[in-house]
């Protein structure tokens, strides 16, 4: 894909960064919801991680 005008490269970079931020935010929302819905699963996983299991 040839980018003829200089601002198109910047727009592609901005869109790419925005999509990555959106994916990260959605992931955080899913993790937050899962922790509130199933807290004991994460407590066990955190404890196992601390014990290096």
C-alpha to C-alpha distance for 10 and 15, rounded to whole angstroms: 9
Q: Which domain, by its residues, includes 33?
A: 3-14+26-51
20 in a domain, yes or no?
no
42 close to 34: Cβ distance less than 8 angstroms? yes
How many domains is the chain partitioned into structurally?
1
35 in a domain, yes or no?
yes
21 in a domain, yes or no?
no
8 in a domain, yes or no?
yes
DSSP state of 26: H
CA 21 vs. chain centroid, Å, equals 7
pLDDT (tens digit per residue) in 1-53: 566 788 888 999 999 999 999 999 999 998 888 877 776 666 676 666 676 65
C-alpha to C-alpha distance for 47 and 39, rounded to whole angstroms: 12
Q: What is the pTM of this model?
A: 0.62
């Amino acid at each position: 894909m040839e980018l003829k005008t200089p601002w198109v490269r910047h727009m592609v970079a901005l869109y790419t960064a925005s999509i990555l931020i959106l994916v990260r935010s959605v992931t955080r929302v899913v993790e937050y919801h899962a922790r509130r819905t199933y807290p004991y699963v994460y407590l066990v996983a955190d404890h196992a991680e601390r014990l290096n299991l």
